[in-house]
Structure 1
Amino acid sequence: MTFDPVMPGIVLAVAAATLLALRAVALLPAARAGRTSVARWAVTTVALLLLVLAAARPVTGSAAGERNAQRPQEGANIYFLVDRSSDSAIPDFGDAPRITAMRSDIEEVIRAHPDARFAIIGFAARPSIDWPLSADAWSLQPAVDALTPYPGIDSTEVNAAAAANILRYQLISAGQQFPQAENLVYYLGSGAGESTVPQGVFDTPRIDDGAVLGYGTGPGEARLREIAGQLGLPYVPRRDGAELPSDRAPESGTATATDPATAPQPTELYWVLTMLATALLLVEIYLTTRDLRRTRAVRRQAPS
């Protein structure tokens, strides 16, 4: 078994130590209250520790150790920069809004790279990391399905390059963690054609492949072409029903770790741990609710 934590191991270790210290403080009152309270203390403590362990993302399988050793050379780092402004709600892809076509294109890229790591950076006036860089494509799907236009942001306030700084730092971090992995960037947007605010500029480390995917036409298209030039990527206007162009294929005769036939698939265990923790916490919630109801009933029956 190996671990692929969602955050630095030292952070998880500090979190676990802090949690144990706090739970140790709560043990003495529980012990004074009797065995039932100690049992409930233990259930809650175990549930919280299971959540910390789930954050460490344990991975098992016959090839788990080999996969972990080769991780810096495996797969690609793929970043999706998704325009979640009100422009993405315009229904010019049949009767569907642009964000629907964006989600479909994202899913197609994910299917084409089964061993890659993915990140989603949404933006409108400001950026946000909607999904940190991770190889957990199974859990990524709900995050893709949840991509919708931000409410309450006027189209005149959109910065088409709002994700520039976050992307830059993400690429620098990935270069340190996965020095031999390729970095692919897919920008999906409309170009903020109605925006009246100053627009940012992309200044990033080397990007190996990807594309700037444009949805809709008009004044935003020129800005999308500028962004494509800044990123060093081709500009691809998207049309309803058009196929998404694939990125370049690996060189012939070169075996890569991203080949599904050669890359071993580990088994993620974090979801088992989170389900167990949830079940234990639900028991504690039920017992706490029951105790509160009993306390209120006693107070009502007590003579004034």
Structure 2
Amino acid sequence: MTFQPVLPPLLLAAVAAIILVARIAALRRLTSAARTRGILWRWAGLTLAALLLVASAARPVLDPSAENTRVADSQAPNVFLVVDRSPDMSVADGPDGSSRMTAARGDVAELLDRYPDARVAVISFASRAALDWPLSADTWSLRPVASVLAPYPVSPDAVTATNAGAAGNMLRYQLIGAVQQYPRAKNLVFYLGAGAAEAALPPRDFNLPEGAVDGGAVLGYGSAAGGPIPGTDVTRSPVDEATLRGVADQIGVPYALRSGVGDLTSVLPAEPTGDDPATVGSGTASRTELYWAPAALAAVLVLLELYYVLREFRRTRLTNASVTV
């Protein structure tokens, strides 16, 4: 059995210690007469429920290949998603009338499925970059965040201030940190954008550490015909493939225009095959998540406590009614 905690282990241990201290303090406030066997059992049950929730947050996992998984964790890829959230991405020039951002969100979800054990970071940009999701293996929590990615609100100069290379510096420092922290892991960069055809300034360069990028792709969204940018006076904003190809050359990955039809398999490079130590045991098919077991037991204990509280409340009301009569 291994653990994949949703919070740092030291933080979980601190939470457990705080729970124990608080529960012991609550018990000590009771008088000796009040410490009946029933009260002690209820105290123990509620305390155990709280500790079981902490155990659930530790995410116990039953994995027959625990040793291989331990090795794979240090070598699992780091995936950097650089997402264009400029007004250009709100243009609805997809084949079915959908927006560019809708297509990009679908590709982000597919990338998360493609690399289920990877550590993932999300960098968004328009005129400047923002780290929406720091590098983390918690892709389960990332999915709902990625599913609502949307273009930033339109400001007066949002269209012309957009820069296709705005994420360059942030990506550079994220890669430097990843190489230092996970020296045996591959770094994959996926850039999803429209190229900022209406930008007033030329795109900034991607000056990334040499040899830091091991794969990925630049994915372009939009059509040559383009379409109006909602909330602006721009009536036609085409995809800027020349800029996107330049970004791909600087990052060192291939470029592909996404038509909005089909999956990414046809545009992404084939995955390596064989017994690469970075992939042995990294699949999730053989793993059994056990976090639900302590969570379910905690729920039962809480329901029992709720039953006793409601029963006492009902008895108190009946007693007060009898006294009143």
Counterpart Cα distance in 2 of 1:81 and 1:21:
45
- Taking the aligned partners of 1:19 and 1:297, their CA distance within structure 2 comes to 34
Q: Find the aligned partners of 1:210 and 1:15 in 2 and give their Cα distance.
A: 39
Contact 1:57/1:270 (8 A) holds in 2: yes
Corresponding position of 2:190: 186
Matched, 1:48 2:69: no
Q: Which sits farther off after the overlay, 121-130 or 228-237?
A: 121-130
Moved more, 40-49 or 91-100: 40-49
> Unaligned 5+ residue runs, structure 1?
none
Partner residue in 2 for 1:67: 69
Judging changes above 3 Å, is the alpha-carbon distance between structure 1 residues 107 and 296 closer, same or farther for their aligned structure 2 residues?
A: same
Q: Do the aligned residues in 2 keep the contact of 1:188 with 1:213 (CA within 8 Å)?
A: yes
| 1:127 and 2:120 are equivalent in the alignment | no
Distance, in Å, in 1 between the alignment partners of 2:307 and 2:165 is 48
Alignment-derived partner of residue 267 in structure 1: 288
Report SS of the residue matched to 1:53.
helix
Deviation, 1:110, is 3.9
Shift of 1:191: 3.6
In structure 1, how many angstroms separate the alpha carbons of the residues matched to 2:72 and 2:251?
A: 29
SS in 2 for 1:127: strand
Q: CA deviation at 1:108?
A: 3.3
- Count of paired positions: 297
Deviates more, 1:179-188 or 1:220-229: 220-229
The alignment yields a C-alpha RMSD, in angstroms, of: 4.5
Maintained 8 Å contact 1:2/1:58 = yes
Is the counterpart of residue 5 in structure 1 residue 5 in structure 2? yes
Change in 2 beyond 3 A, CA 1:289/1:109: same
Residues 1:59 and 1:212: Cα distance change in structure 2 (over 3 Å): same
* Per-residue deviation, 1:241: 1.8
Kindly indicate whether residue 235 of structure 2 is the aligned counterpart of residue 215 of structure 1: no
Give unmatched runs, 5+ long, in structure 2: 224-236
CA contact (8 A) 1:257 1:263 kept: no
Q: Matched residue of 1:91: which SS? A: coil
User: Residues 259, 9 of structure 1: CA spacing in aligned structure 2 closer, same or farther, 3 A cutoff?
Assistant: closer
The question of 1:235 aligning with 2:255 is answered yes
Query: Could you report, residue by residue, the CA deviation over 1:47-69 in whole angstroms, capped at 9, with x for unpaired residues?
Result: 43333333333221322233224
Structure-1 separation of matches of 2:93 and 2:287: 41
Query: Is the Cα contact below 8 Å between 1:76 and 1:183 reproduced in 2?
Result: yes
2:83 is aligned to: 82
Q: 1:172 to 1:16 in 2, by over 3 A?
A: farther
Deviation at 1:211, TM superposition (A): 0.9
